[in-house]
Structure 1
Amino acid sequence: MPGRMQQDRNTGRQGAGREPGRGVGDWLSDRVLRGAIATAMALPYPRRLALMGGLTSGLIGPLAGYRRRAERNLALIWPEMPAPRRAALAAACCDNLGRTLIENYSGAEFARRLPDAPAETTGLEAIERARAERRPVVFVTGHFGNHEAPRRVLTAMGYEIGGLYRAMSNRFVNDHYAATMEGVSGPVFAKGRRGLTGFLRHLKAGGMATLLFDLHDRDGVEIDFLGRPALTALTAAELALRHDALLVPYFGIRRPDGIGIDVAVEAPIPHSEPLAMMQEATRRLEQRIAADPGQWFWVHNRWKADRRKR
C-alpha cells in the first residue's frame, strides 16, 4: 500500500522457486488496487481524493485489517482513549492513507495543487546555504499527511532531492508505485545493498535525499515513540555525520479540507551522537502527531518489539 509502507506479510503463500511478493494473492491484491486507482483517476481531482479516502477507510481498510491494526495501536499508546474516538482516528488514518496514495499517482496534477513554497521555513535558509556550498542534506520525515509533498514543493523551487525507500512486500504493487517517486526529482533507491550504494554515491556528490524513519527496523535501537519503545534505524543520523550533511526534518501536513497540503521545513538537527539525533527527529514527528493524530499511518506495526515483551 501507499507511501513506503512495508506490508507485514505477503498475501498468499509463495510457491517453490517463486519470487517472494509475486504469489497469486499478491497478484489479486494488485489487480484490486489497480482497478481502484484507474476508477479514481477518471474523476475530477477533488472527487478522486474523496473516493480513494472513502474506499480505503470504509472498504479496503477494514478488509485488509488496517482499521483493526490502527485501533490496536491507538489503544496501546492511549489506553484511556474512548473506543469511539479510536475508531474515528483509525478511519481518519485510512482516509489520509487513501488520499496520499492517489495524490502520488496523480503526478503533475498533484504538484499543481501544492503551494509554491513551504508554510514553515525555519530550515530553508540552511538548506539554501548547503546547496550553494555543495554540502549534502539528509531530509527525514515520517508517514504523516503526505510524505512526498515536501520533496515535490522543494523540487519546484529548484532543489534536486533523491530518496531511499523500503520496497513493498507485494512486488506487483511496488513495481508501479516506485515509478510515482522516480518521476519527482533526483534518483530514488530501493533499500538494499545496491540501493544503498547508489544513495551513498549521491550524498558524497553533495546531493540531497530523503529517508522515512518511522517504520519498525529489526536492526535499529529502541527509542521511545509516543511513550513506547520502538526499534528505530539510526541510518539517517549516521549518514549525516559520516558525510557532514545537514539533518533536516520536513513534513507535508494535510489541511482540514482533505485536499490542500502545507509543507514545513524545520531547523536542522545539530550533530551529536546518532542516538540523540534520532531521538530529536522522533520528538519532531511526535509533535506533528500530537497536533493531528489522524494524519499518521497507524496501520504500521511500529511497536513490534514492545508487543513481544508484553
Structure 2
Amino acid sequence: MSALVPYVLFRALTGLLNLLPYEIRVRLGGWVFARVIVPLAGYRRRIEDNLRLIFPDMPAARRDQVIADTSRNIGRMAIELLSPAGLRARALDAPITGPGWEAMQQARAEGRPIILVSGHFGNYDVIRAGTIARGFRVGGIYRALNNPYFNAYYLRKISAIGAPLFERGRRGLGQMVRFLREGGTVAMLIDQHMHRGEPLDFMGQTALTALSAAEMALKYDALLVPCYGIRRADGLSFDAVFEAPIPHTTAVQMTQALNDSLQARVRQDIDQWFWIHRRWKGGTPDA
C-alpha cells in the first residue's frame, strides 16, 4: 500500500476531529484509542505483559483497569500533540512546582545550559510548551516517523509548540550540542529501550538506558532537571513538576537517578506511563 493512502485516511479522520471543541476532541481521542486501536493493533497484550512483569501480584481486575486508563491517556496525548494551540493553553494554565524551577531561573540568568529530562508520562510536551511560553529557549529531540507524509505532518504540529527541533541522529545531535553550548535548554526523554544503552534498574528490572543526557550535562556543565507534565483527574489539565536538579557525579549514577525519579512517578500514577513500549526487551546488553 502506498504511504500516501493511510496518510489520507488519517488526515480525513483528524479533519473531522478538528471540527470538535478541544476538550471533546481530546476525550474522544482517548476513547477511540482505548476501545478501537489498542485491541486491533495488539497493544493490549504488550501493556499486559509489561504489567505482569513489574507487578506479578496485581489482581486481574486492577490490571484491566490500568490497561484501560493507560490506553486513554495515550490516546488523549496523541490528540493533544496534534492540537498545539489547545495544548499550549493548558500548559500555560498548569501550576509549576518543585525546586528545579528556581534552579532553572538561576541557570538562565547565568547563561548556563539546561537539560530537561522526562519520560513518556502524562504529556511530556506540557513541559516544553510551558517552559517556552515563560521565556526559555527550548529545543526538543524527535524521532522521524517512517511514513514521510505522517512525519511532515507530525513535525509541523510539534514545531507549532516551539523550535528548534533536532532529529535523532548524527546531524541532529551536532545541532543540539551547538544549541546547548550557546546556553540553550534541551528537552529529552530517556525511557525507551536503547540497544547500546547501559543496563540500569528501572521498576525493579534491568533496562538498557541511554546515558547521553547525563554525559552532555557533565561535558557542558548543564543543569540536569527531571520534570513531568502530570495529568490531573479531569483528564485535560496538568501540573508541571520540576524536581531538584541531579547532582553531577558520573553518567551512570546520574542516569540511574533519572530512572529512579521516573520510577517514583510511575508508581504514584501508574496509568500515566506508556506501558505500551517494549522497555525491557530481555534486560541484557545482548537483548
Q: 2:76 matched to 1:77?
A: no
Give the secondary-structure state (helix, strand or coil) at the position aligned to 2:225: strand
Pick from 24, 35, 39: which aligns with 2:16?
39
Distance 1:265 1:185 in 2: 19
Segments of 5+ residues of structure 1 without an aligned counterpart are 1-23
Structure 1 residues 305 and 171, CA, compared in 2 at 3 Å: closer, same or farther?
Answer: farther
Instruction: Give 1:168's aligned residue.
Output: 145
Q: Quote the residue 1:200 is aligned against.
A: 177
Task: Report the equivalent of 2:224.
Answer: 247
Unaligned runs of 5+ in 2: none
Moved more, 232-241 or 155-164: 155-164
The aligned amino acid for 1:142 is G
Taking structure 1 as reference, are residues 88 and 236 closer, same or farther at Cα in structure 2, changes over 3 Å only? same
Of the three residues 130, 137, 162, the one matched with 1:185 is 162
Deviation at 1:153, TM superposition (A): 1.0
The aligned counterpart of 1:112 is 89
Q: Contact 1:115/1:261 (CA < 8 Å) preserved in 2? A: no
Q: Secondary structure at the match of 2:58?
A: coil
User: In the aligned structure 2, how far is the partner of 1:137 from the partner of 1:156?
Assistant: 16
| 1:150 and 2:119 are equivalent in the alignment | no
Q: Does 1:229 align with 2:206?
A: yes
**Root mean square deviation, CA, Å:** 1.9
Equivalences, count: 287
| 3-state SS in 1 of match to 2:188 | strand
2-side partners of 1:62 and 1:171: how far apart?
26
1:266, CA displacement in angstroms?
Answer: 1.1
Q: Distance in 2 between matches of 1:172 and 1:65?
A: 24
Determine the C-alpha separation between the residues in 2 that align with 1:171 and 1:133.
Answer: 40
> How far is 1:67 from its partner?
1.8
* Identity in percent: 44
1:66 is displaced (CA, Å) by 1.6
Query: What code does the residue aligned with 1:236 have?
Result: A
Amino acid of the structure 2 residue aligned with 1:287:
A
Given the two structures, how large is their TM-score scaled by the length of structure 1?
0.87
TM-score (norm 2): 0.94
* Cα distance change of structure 1 residues 301 and 28 upon mapping to structure 2, 3 Å threshold: farther
In the other structure, the counterpart of 2:236 is 259
Q: Do 2:141 and 2:165's aligned partners in 1 also have CA atoms closer than 8 Å?
A: yes
SS in 2 for 1:38: helix
Q: Which runs of 4+ in 1 moved over 6 A?
A: 307-310
Residue of structure 1 aligned with 2:72, choices 95, 115, 118: 95
Matching residue's letter, 1:122: P
Aligned with 1:123: secondary structure?
helix
Q: What residue number does 1:302 align with? A: 279
User: In the aligned structure 2, how far is the partner of 1:147 from the partner of 1:26?
Assistant: 28
Q: Name whichever of 300-309 and 124-133 sits farther off.
A: 300-309
TM-superposed CA distance for 1:144, in Å, is 0.2
The alpha carbon displacement at 1:150 in A equals 0.8
Amino acid across the alignment from 2:180: L
Q: Is the 8 A contact 1:165 1:212 kept in 2?
A: no
Q: Distance in 2 between matches of 1:304 and 1:55?
A: 28
